[in-house]
């Protein structure tokens, strides 16, 4: 009895002495092999030569890659996880299938050739223990890999969420600060109100959504390698803006100040182009206005040169007008010199989209087009001036109809500007008696000359109406209003 107990004890000790190290060695070996497998897989996945198509870095329309931490990092992490799990699984299967466990042990040359060992039942037993060790090691490796992967996932998700939160907040900050300051962007050529301008990199590539986002929080890297600021305050305003709708260049101060849009309407030949040029010249000399884009500058220079030679500008081409854009202190002013035909002809509605942007309107009244004035005018004066054949009331009616068709609320202010004041003889000039209340004098003059309908219609449709008489000449017999005064009044509600 004692003898058999001793033998069992001896067997137990033998089993422990043999299996303990075998088990431990198998666990350590399989863990090491698993670690090597996972590291090799990870290095393959993250190496510079690895395929990065799954990251979809260049699938956004703008010519810049997505930032890794904006989301692709999570995709990479998922792919890495799958690759490591698959590799580990294959490694585990290979081990458990026996090529390196018990059967493998038998195939080792010294063991194969040593009969005592090959016949002994110890070898399958040791192989069995080794398999258990490999299974434990494999399971441990799996648990370790899964834990690491989940911890990384939590960390990466936090980083990606942080990235998106920061970029979203900055975008909101810029959008809100623009909205609070009343800053919008409109194209001077196609008159589209833009959500944002397209910004052009010095390399010529166009960025349609240069805002904090997936392509960069503060900076994005253009395909040319240049870093482009995503915020106006960090330097975006230094890039050249363009219209995303018609590709026209926008003034460099777009999105830096609020815009105001003032169309100058009137019949063909009423004197809109001459008035606009004269008003702008006065704005430049007396109101700190500067042309906001090269096109405005060149057109002003052209018309200025013609008028200086005593030649009036040619008829304005009938098409969508490109605005004269001026920077007046902290405002971007768009003045539209529309060909008279645009408001005179109902089918030109598409060309009159600029009217929908109006912050105030200037209605040009050609005195020589008013029958009562014409009847008493000097034939020489009539012959010298290209006069408008359109009744200003017709123009006003078409204007209000067009505004309705564009589904736009009528602007608050209209400036009724009687042009060509120099052609009015002393007895018919509204300011001949040097009235103190000039607007009332012009109003009374229009009514006296049979245009009460015009006065009443203007006052019916617009809450604020102001009257002016101007001339392009710098000196004349009768006093005239500053040609810049109507624009100043529309923008501020006061006259200088």
Binding site for ligand GDP (CB under 6 A): 266, 268-274, 312-313, 315-316, 340, 385-386, 419-420, 422-423, 471-472
Instruction: Determine the distance from the C-alpha atom of residue 319 to the mean position of all C-alpha atoms in its chain, rounded to a whole number.
Output: 28
Smallest separation (angstroms) from ligand GDP to the CB of 213:
45
- Number of chain residues interacting with Mg ion (CB under 5 A): 3
**In 10 A of CB 408, how many CB atoms?**
14
- Which option in Mg ion, Zn ion, ligand GDP, none does residue 419 bind, with CB closer than 5 to 8 A by kind? ligand GDP
Smallest separation (angstroms) from Mg ion to the CB of 473:
18
Query: How many angstroms separate the CA atoms of 85 and 104, rounded?
Result: 25
CA distances, 334 to each of 84, 229, 359, 408, 489 (Å): 62, 27, 10, 18, 15
Smallest separation (angstroms) from Mg ion to the CB of 238:
36
Nearer to Zn ion, 247 or 288 (CB): 247
Query: How many angstroms separate the CA atoms of 260 and 183, rounded?
Result: 10
Smallest separation (angstroms) from ligand GDP to the CB of 438:
17
For residue 464, what is the enclosing H or E element?
strand 464-469
3-state secondary structure of 363: strand
**In 10 A of CB 288, how many CB atoms?**
11
- Which option in Mg ion, Zn ion, ligand GDP, none does residue 423 bind, with CB closer than 5 to 8 A by kind? ligand GDP
Query: How many angstroms separate the CA atoms of 55 and 14, rounded?
Result: 56
* 316, 410, 464, 476: residue in contact with Mg ion (rule CB under 5 A): 316
Nearer to ligand GDP, 315 or 374 (CB): 315
Smallest separation (angstroms) from Zn ion to the CB of 147:
44
Burial of 379 (0-12, 13-18, 19+ CB in 10 A): exposed
Q: Binding mask 180-209 vs Zn ion (x if CB under 5 A, - otherwise)? A: -------x-xx----------x-x-x----
- Which option in Mg ion, Zn ion, ligand GDP, none does residue 126 bind, with CB closer than 5 to 8 A by kind? none
Q: Taking CB under 5 A as the criterion, which residues in 230-259 touch Zn ion?
A: 243, 245-246, 248
**In 10 A of CB 439, how many CB atoms?**
19
247 Ramachandran zone, left/alpha/beta (phi>0; psi -120 to 50): left
Is residue 458 a contact partner of residue 250, using CB atoms and an 8 Å limit?
no
Under the binding rule (CB under 5 A), the answer on residue 192 touching Mg ion is: no
Nearer to Mg ion, 30 or 268 (CB): 268
Smallest separation (angstroms) from Zn ion to the CB of 235:
14
Characterize 3-31 residue by residue with b for buried, 16 or more Cβ atoms within 10 angstroms of its Cβ, and e for exposed.
Answer: eeeeeeeeeeeeeeeebeebbeebbebbb
* 19, 37, 215, 273: residue in contact with Mg ion (rule CB under 5 A): 273
Nearer to Mg ion, 71 or 304 (CB): 304
Interacting residues toward Mg ion by CB under 5 A = 272-273, 316
| Interacting residues toward Zn ion by CB under 5 A | 187, 189-190, 201, 203, 205, 222, 224, 226, 243, 245-246, 248
């Amino acid at each position: 009895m004692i003898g058999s107990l001793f033998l069992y004890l001896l067997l137990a000790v033998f089993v422990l002495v043999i299996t303990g190290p075998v088990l431990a060695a198998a666990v350590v070996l399989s863990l090491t092999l698993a670690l090597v497998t996972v590291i090799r897989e990870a290095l393959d996945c993250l190496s510079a030569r690895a395929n990065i198509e799954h990251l979809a870095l260049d699938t956004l329309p703008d010519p810049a890659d997505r930032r890794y931490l904006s989301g692709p990092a999570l995709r990479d992490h998922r792919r890495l996880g799958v690759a490591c799990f698959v590799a580990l699984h294959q490694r585990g299967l290979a081990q458990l299938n026996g090529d390196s466990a018990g059967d493998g042990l038998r195939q080792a040359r010294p063991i194969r050739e040593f009969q005592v060992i090959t016949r002994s039942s110890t070898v399958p037993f040791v192989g069995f223990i080794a398999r258990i060790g490999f299974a434990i090691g494999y399971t441990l490796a799996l648990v370790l890999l899964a834990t690491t992967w989940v911890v990384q996932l939590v960390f990466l998700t936090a980083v990606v969420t942080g990235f998106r939160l920061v970029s979203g907040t900055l975008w909101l900050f810029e959008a809100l600060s623009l909205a609070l300051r009343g800053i919008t962007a409109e194209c001077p050529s196609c008159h589209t109100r833009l959500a944002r301008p397209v910004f052009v990199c010095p390399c010529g590539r166009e960025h349609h959504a240069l805002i904090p986002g997936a392509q960069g929080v503060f900076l994005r890297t253009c395909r040319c390698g240049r870093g482009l600021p995503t915020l106006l305050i960090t330097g975006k305003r230094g890039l050249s803006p363009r219209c995303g709708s018609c590709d026209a260049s926008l003034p460099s101060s777009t999105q830096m100040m609020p815009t105001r849009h003032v169309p100058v309407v009137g019949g063909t030949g009423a004197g809109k182009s001459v008035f606009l040029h004269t008003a702008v010249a006065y704005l430049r000399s007396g109101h700190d206005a500067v042309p906001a884009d090269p096109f405005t500058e060149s057109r002003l220079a052209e018309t200025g040169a013609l008028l200086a030679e005593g030649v009036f500008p040619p008829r304005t081409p009938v098409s969508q007008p490109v605005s004269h854009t001026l920077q007046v202190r902290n405002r971007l002013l768009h003045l539209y010199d529309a060909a008279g035909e645009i408001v005179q002809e109902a089918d030109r509605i598409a060309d009159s989209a600029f009217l929908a942007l109006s912050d105030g309107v200037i209605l040009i009244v050609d005195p020589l087009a008013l029958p009562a004035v014409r009847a008493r005018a000097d034939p020489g004066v009539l012959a010298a001036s290209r006069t408008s054949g359109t009744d200003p009331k017709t123009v006003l009616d078409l204007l209000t109809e067009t505004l309705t068709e564009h589904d736009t609320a009528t602007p608050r202010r209209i400036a009724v500007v009687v042009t060509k004041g120099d052609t009015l003889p002393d007895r018919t000039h509204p300011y001949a008696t040097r009235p103190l209340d000039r607007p009332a004098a012009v109003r009374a003059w229009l009514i006296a000359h049979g245009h009460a309908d015009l006065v009443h219609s203007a006052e019916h449709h617009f809450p604020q109406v102001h009257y002016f008489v101007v001339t392009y000449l710098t000196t004349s017999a009768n006093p005239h209003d500053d040609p810049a005064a109507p624009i100043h009044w529309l923008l501020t509600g006061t006259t200088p």
